[in-house]
Structure 1
């Protein structure tokens, strides 16, 4: 039997790698700043967070089988906390969050959330 965490990690790294280069490619085509708005940090942190949340759920699957949904929600809370601690102060320096700043965080966040949700639902249905 294959390890769901290893499979998830490989999928996540590949997805984030291609998404990052597509994101930067779109910025380049539109003649927008490529690496402003902490885009690299955003992709790295979001990748690490989804791997930590998925890995934690995988490790806790036997002990907290009936509470995994709540633990997943706790992982979402963790992601929001990281956003407000790491990114929000930087984005609000000029008292507004631009579309580029929003996309720099939200694109990797949304990709991670989608991958995490799909992978977890497939994995949990097998339990």
Structure 2
């Protein structure tokens, strides 16, 4: 099997981790006899995955031009994710006046998985940039 380029590695791993995470999330909910597809869980996994992919693709695309601003752009991507949370999820979650642990987990688990992978690959990308600059 040929080695995947850096960006493709990230995207494949992102999809794989989110699918596994989603499966485990659903399995735990089902095992505890909790509502499986409530709390916008599917939307949360899809939106967090799409945002992580878009943000990382943009960081990767502009890595040479804006290498000194990658950290700020990364933080801007996190701000964008929070904006999506407050626009698309928070109103529904707070509709009953309270955000339950299940609602929080439905958003936070895919957010955390995507953020971890984005952080790891952005760090790796910056190390690669640093290595090419020193030569």
Give me the whole-angstrom Cα distance separating, in 1, the residues matched to 2:60 and 2:128: 13
Cα deviation code 1:50-77 (max 9, x no counterpart): 1011000001111111000000010000
Q: Rg: which structure is higher?
A: 2
Look up the SS of the partner of 1:94 in the other structure. Answer: coil
Superposition RMSD in Å: 1.0
Displacement, 1:3?
2.6
- 24, 46, 49: which one pairs with 2:48? 46
Give me the whole-angstrom Cα distance separating, in 1, the residues matched to 2:74 and 2:80: 10
Give me the whole-angstrom Cα distance separating, in 2, the residues matched to 1:57 and 1:49: 12
Structure 1 partner of 2:120: 118
Give me the whole-angstrom Cα distance separating, in 2, the residues matched to 1:9 and 1:72: 17
Number of paired residues?
127
- 68, 71, 83: which one pairs with 1:69? 71
Give me the whole-angstrom Cα distance separating, in 2, the residues matched to 1:119 and 1:28: 32
The answer for unaligned runs of 5 or more in structure 2 is 130-135
Give me the whole-angstrom Cα distance separating, in 1, the residues matched to 2:4 and 2:35: 41
Give runs of aligned pairs for residues 1-127 of structure 1, distance below 5 A: 2-127=4-129
Give me the whole-angstrom Cα distance separating, in 2, the residues matched to 1:3 and 1:124: 16
Give me the whole-angstrom Cα distance separating, in 2, the residues matched to 1:78 and 1:98: 23
Aligned structure 1 segments of 4 or more residues deviating by more than 2 angstroms: none
